[in-house]
Amino acid sequence: MLYRTGSHLANILHYKSNSFVIREIPRQQRSVDPVRKPGTQDKFHLIIDYGPVTKATATIAGSMPSAATMINAFKALRLLEVSISRRMTMYNDRCEVFSFITSDGVNTPKRVPQGAMDSALHFQSQVQMKLVPLIPHSVLVWVHNVILFAPTIPVLLQTEWKVFNIVEKVDFKLDITKSSLVKTEMKWCGRLISSVGACHDPTRANALAGLALPVSIYNTLYVIRNRSRIHFLIILCPPLQKKLNSERTAQSHRVEYRHFLGR
């Protein structure tokens, strides 16, 4: 699997100057393929094969809270949302597996490269590990978004104080610009969270329900996948699924016929 680092070649020097990337000769390193960013001529993504790393660490990656957990947790509660900056550094003896080669030598990032779901899951596990005394009765974590909830304002303030103490102790960095004060309703992880529970965002649901009818087998698959994410839209999927299956069957028969004719 190939993942983007989210930075182009010119930024490597900037990362080195800030000690985000170091130069060394590790025992293992990954190859890099530069890919031009869409609409630009001189900006690139670095495509790095982190498949072996992902395979070795997938079993310890964090898991997201389920829909049932959210629905049962938020009833009759007041909410507070905070955001933790995703800028964790790694231990020096753990950096080697992320080393990559460019034209100017071997580079080793000091932080888990961003831009891939795997790094988000690892960040999830680290945040959950530190906030585990408050999960799931007072806190839920979704990557770098942390939501605090309590039945009353005094209890919510106590929970907030506990979270801030943990954040200070483990040296997390709060993103003040993305944090919110006390709310009775908020959008979080694609759902509308309030004191009555968790439900799908009506705007998002209407957008999915209003998707244009598919004109090809690939468009049909796209519509089915997106509508299946919301339970009350699943009733719209069986006719599309039936059409998709028939098109796949017809397509496979056409391929077999062409193969029989030697085309």
CATH tag, 2-200: 3.30.70.270
For residue 155, count other CB atoms closer than 10 A to its CB. Answer: 14
Asked if pLDDT for residue 238 goes beyond 70, the answer is no
The model's pLDDT over 3-27, given as tens digits with 9 standing for 90+, comes to: 344 444 444 444 444 455 555 555 5
Spans of all domains in the chain: 2-200, 205-261
| Mean pLDDT of the 150-171 span | 85
- Out of 26-30, 69-73, 148-152, give the one with best mean pLDDT: 148-152
User: Which pLDDT value is given to residue 152?
Assistant: 80
More confident residue, 223 or 147: 147
| pLDDT tier, 176 (very low <50, low <70, confident <90, very high otherwise) | confident
Tell me the C-alpha distance between 85 and 62, whole Å: 17
Angle at 133 between CA 132 and CA 137, to 5 degrees: 95
Angle at which helix 117-131 crosses helix 153-170, to 10 degrees, equals 110
Extract the tokens encoding 9.
């070649």
More confident residue, 245 or 115: 245
Tell me the C-alpha distance between 255 and 257, whole Å: 5
**How far out from the chain centre does Cα 82 lie?**
17
Residue ranges of E strands in 151-218: 185-188, 191-194, 197-200
Residue 37 DSSP symbol: P
User: Which pLDDT value is given to residue 235?
Assistant: 47
Question: Would you say 21 and 13 are in contact if contact means Cβ atoms under 8 Å apart?
Answer: no
User: Which pLDDT value is given to residue 39?
Assistant: 80
The SS3 of residue 106 is strand
Angle at 239 between CA 235 and CA 243, to 5 degrees: 150
| pLDDT tier, 130 (very low <50, low <70, confident <90, very high otherwise) | confident
